[in-house]
Homo-oligomer: A and B are copies of this chain.
Amino acid sequence: MYIGIDLGGTNIAAGVVDEKGNILATDSTPTEKERDFTEIVADMAEIAKKVTRKAGLATADIKGVGIGCPGTVDNKNGMVVYANNLKMEHSPVAAEFKKHWDIPVSLINDADAAAFGEFKMTAPDADSFVFMTLGTGVGGGVVIDGKLMRGCNGAGGELGHFCIEVDGKPCTCGARGCLESYASVTALIEQTKEKMAACPDSNMHDWVKKKGKISGRTAFECAKQGDAAAIEVRDRYIHYVAVGVNSLINIFQPKIFAIGGGISREGDTLLDPIKAFVKKNNYNKYMNETELRIATLFNDAGIIGAAFAAMTKQ
């Protein structure tokens, strides 16, 4: 048995995971991200022990703990080098965890954890697997021959920061024109706001009044009701995602390409136009084609992937 921890900006989620990837018990607690990292790590150790009890196990039954963190991790040295939104910079998270529970600890980037979980549970035989997640940002991970592609420094497999528009929109990373600036849910919300400002008659205004705020669902839901402005926003957004997916397929030609993140719950509304775009624009017109699919584990992928990282010492 292993424990997977998904450290987010809002919540710390933890689960006991068996060797096959089944989750036996889970729990979560608020991150309270303003705190010093030592306090957050203390809470991680506490919730890890709590889920162990919840699963009816003793601490001796647990062989390792995997922790998925936003940002850049240095697993060799057990450090979170930098974590977006958290007060972690060169923080010795593994050593700190061991003060509370002396057990092997693996650190892994959160998007890599989600990618690895999705890979292990849905495509373990694929020789190459790309996972892209559309959320506040665009993240992802790449698995080649069963191993996460982490580059020379653990920061490889960053799929949201290649340029799709030379000198385009400023990105949070400091560069311009990154995929993330066009294909994240944050970008979709901006695109929705811009269109609403230009189209005062759009039904999107009513939708937002009812729901209280603009979200990534505004354009998708109003488009389903036939609102022309919403259809434009949705289709343009999907075009950006498709351009990103096609680019990554040309680079990796993976056996399977899975799209995750909240917006992936739109299912075929999102997937079908991407498939059509890739069919037309993929560089490879002669060999087996990549299978494009929606990811299936949703929020559990991070916990399962972090546990598998501990299991396989990735």
Residues of A within 8 A of B (CB): 72, 74, 81-82, 126-128, 144-145, 147, 149-159, 161-166, 173-177, 182, 239-240, 243-244, 246-248, 250-255, 280-281, 283-290
Among candidates B149, B159, B163, B255, residue contacting A246 with C-beta atoms closer than 8 Å: B163
Smallest distance from the beta carbon of A78 to chain B beta carbons, Å? 15
Report whether B164 and A166 are in contact in the complex, using a CB–CB cutoff of 8 Å: yes
CA distance A14 to B205 in the complex (A): 68
A173 contacts which chain B residues (CB < 8 A)? 281, 283
How many copies altogether?
Answer: 2
Among candidates B151, B177, B182, B239, residue contacting A253 with C-beta atoms closer than 8 Å: B151
- A145, A149, A152, A285 — most chain B CB neighbours (10 Å): A152
Report whether A153 and B248 are in contact in the complex, using a CB–CB cutoff of 8 Å: no
In the complex, besides A126-B152, A176-B281, 8 extra interface pairs with C-beta distance below 8 angstroms are A72-B286, A82-B285, A152-B288, A153-B253, A155-B253, A155-B284, A162-B162, A165-B166
Report whether B288 and A243 are in contact in the complex, using a CB–CB cutoff of 8 Å: no
- 7 closest Cβ contacts across the A-B interface? A151-B253, A162-B247, A153-B287, A152-B255, A156-B253, A175-B281, A161-B250
Report whether B162 and A165 are in contact in the complex, using a CB–CB cutoff of 8 Å: no
A158 contacts which chain B residues (CB < 8 A)? 250-251, 253, 283-284
